[in-house]
Chain A
Amino acid sequence: MRASLATAPERLRVLLVEDSRMFTSALKYRFETDLGVDVVTCSSLAEMRQAAAGADHGFFVAVTDLNLPDSPHCEALDYALEIDLPTIVFTGKFDFNTRKSILKKNVLDYVIKDNDRAFDEIVMAVGRIISNRDFRILVVDDTKTQRSILSSMLTAQKFEIVEAASGQEALEAIEAHPDISLVLTDYHMGDMDGYQLTRKLRRKYSDDVLRIIGISNSNDPELSASFLKAGASDFLYRPFVQEEFQCRIAQNIGILVKMEALKKAASLLPIVAASA
């Protein structure tokens, strides 16, 4: 894990676009208190255009309702994309058409606001994007196209990325970047397969400091077994489903964070006991 950027003096700015006043003020409050970010709120596309005008708007991320009075067809989202502002959207309900159209627009994440949990979900989604910047991921695949797909999916989520085109390169990369917290590796590679790479990595790095996610094809499920038995933490099926991909990465990063906290807790416990 890299030194947290959250402690940097400059506070991150979040643009919140939503027409329900109740929702806006509740979310603004949660963002400010839970995440320590500055929030600018807009209730329409027109206001959004004003707030984000100019290349130096300085917003880190936009959180926008899919439909607004002056933007009935995702125009607010389109505008955010137009000005290269990474966006998390919330939408009233889940349907596959909406999903397809928003994912096509490269949104970072989407949250369905059909229950009380929605607030937590949105705060968590923004929180993840903020903390992702503290993690470096090594992408291992001998096909350039596949590497690029993975890298761009992860870069969009604000992760730091290192790429390797072979098992050997992966081993060298991890030596060169000791702060790598997660390795995402394909199975079939020229010099060694994913099983061998996983075993080699596991000799030096245990699961509580380095997560390894293997990638298998959905038509060959036995590869996942092979990965897991070599010591991989998890695996993903290709072709990727974005929600699935994000869930796996977030889950594994989350485990690292929790293990880190536990270790810290264990090392602090005697002090607490002594002072009590």
Chain B
Amino acid sequence: MFIGLSGMQYSGGSLGSHRIIVAEDSNVFTSMIGQTLKENFDIDIEVCRSFEELQLAFEYNERPITLAISNINLPGAENGEALNYLADLSIPIIVFTGTFHESTREGILARDIVDYVIKDNILAIDLLAESVCRFLTNHRHHVLIVDDSATARALLRSRLERFNFKVSAAENGARALDILKVTPDIGLVITDYNMPDIDGFELTRRLRAVRGSHELRIIGVSSSDNRMLSARFLKAGGNDFMLRPYVDEEFYCRVNQNLDTLDQIKSARRWMGSRAAAKVA
């Protein structure tokens, strides 16, 4: 079983069917990345050491690229052209960068990337492996967005789909309850507070009446000018909450942490089940 640094666990089969490009010119890193992804997920990476190699990899091989792990700068693309190139082709990107500056961060986040990993410490490769595994397996998780604003729903949806989650959306509380009734695989609800029919608290209360924290996680969303809303969300049975406007890293962290917890509970229950079965046998 793969257990990632921030708590993700994966015990499924090979992820080798995905085409993954690594655009990086340092041999040390490419070989470490290659080895880690092979060992843990049976993935054979395709290495591109320059911008030219990256372009050739796309143009001369029609197999769709699932994910690109790319440095910001490559030989032949000293000003982030590789990221623009990949972004223009709508290829999901995990940026692997040597530095963390406020300006770098803003620059890379503006491109709607999946994630970024700073390669300035020994954990970088493990963090990268976890990030890759999350992206390739996030579709197992079904997330329900509840917000009465179409714009907010669309923004949240594109954000979640960027991470490869399965997404449904509801424009009010009543609709959310309906969807949940017929969609048992939803594991996470992200709900706004202000809604015309029932507010986020009331929705949280009603959801909790039918589904416990071990099978459904609920994250409330409130704007940062009223911090007290978070208190109410949590007391209504919410597991967590986020402040709007979202900070990318924070958003992904909250969502992941809650889904990881759900996975941990599930495997603990499975294990107890298998133990009980073993005892009976």
Contacts and interface: CB of A to CB of B under 8 A. Distances in A.
Interface of A: 94, 96, 99, 110-112, 114-117, 199, 202-203, 206-208, 218, 221-222, 224-226, 228-229, 231, 233-235, 237, 239, 241-244, 247, 251, 254-255, 258-259, 261-262, 265-266, 268-269, 272-273, 275-276
A226 B243 CA distance: 17
B28 interface: no
Nearest to A120: B212
A108 to B, nearest CB: 14
B125 to A, nearest CB: 13
Name B's interface SS: helix
Given A272-B278, A276-B281, A228 B7 contact: no
A262 B241 CA distance: 26
A207 to B, nearest CB: 5
Interface string B223-258: 010011011101111011101000111100100010
A225 B105 contact: yes
20 contacts: A99-B231, A117-B208, A208-B3, A225-B249, A228-B253, A231-B121, A234-B257, A237-B227, A239-B227, A241-B227, A242-B231, A243-B234, A244-B241, A247-B234, A251-B257, A258-B264, A258-B268, A265-B267, A266-B1, A272-B278
A228 B201 CA distance: 28
Given A202-B123, A221-B247, A262-B264, A207 B232 contact: no
Nearest to A252: B257
B214 to A, nearest CB: 11
Name A's interface SS: helix
Contact of B274 (A235, A241, A272): A272
Closest 7 CB pairs of A and B: A243-B231, A276-B278, A225-B249, A265-B271, A258-B264, A221-B247, A272-B278
Contacts of B116: 229
Contact of B205 (A111, A114, A254): A114
Contacts, number: 124
B227 A255 contact: no
Nearest to A248: B240
A187 B168 CA distance: 37
Given A115-B205, A225-B248, A243-B230, 10 more contacts: A94-B235, A96-B228, A224-B249, A226-B100, A228-B250, A229-B116, A241-B231, A251-B261, A259-B264, A262-B268
A258 B247 contact: no
A241 B5 contact: no
Contacts of B140: none
Given A112-B235, A275-B278, A259 B227 contact: no
A255 B7 contact: yes
Contacts of B250: 221, 224-225, 228, 235
B51 to A, nearest CB: 26
Nearest to A271: B278
B247 A222 contact: yes
B213 to A, nearest CB: 9
A208 B4 CA distance: 9
A74 B261 CA distance: 37
A94 B199 CA distance: 14
B100 A229 contact: yes
Nearest to A199: B121
Contacts of B6: 207, 233
B275 interface: yes
Nearest to B265: A258
Best-surrounded residue of A110, A111, A265, A269 (most CB of chain B within 10 A): A265
Contacts of B235: 94, 110-112, 243
Contacts of B209: 115-117
Contacts of B236: 94, 112
B155 interface: no
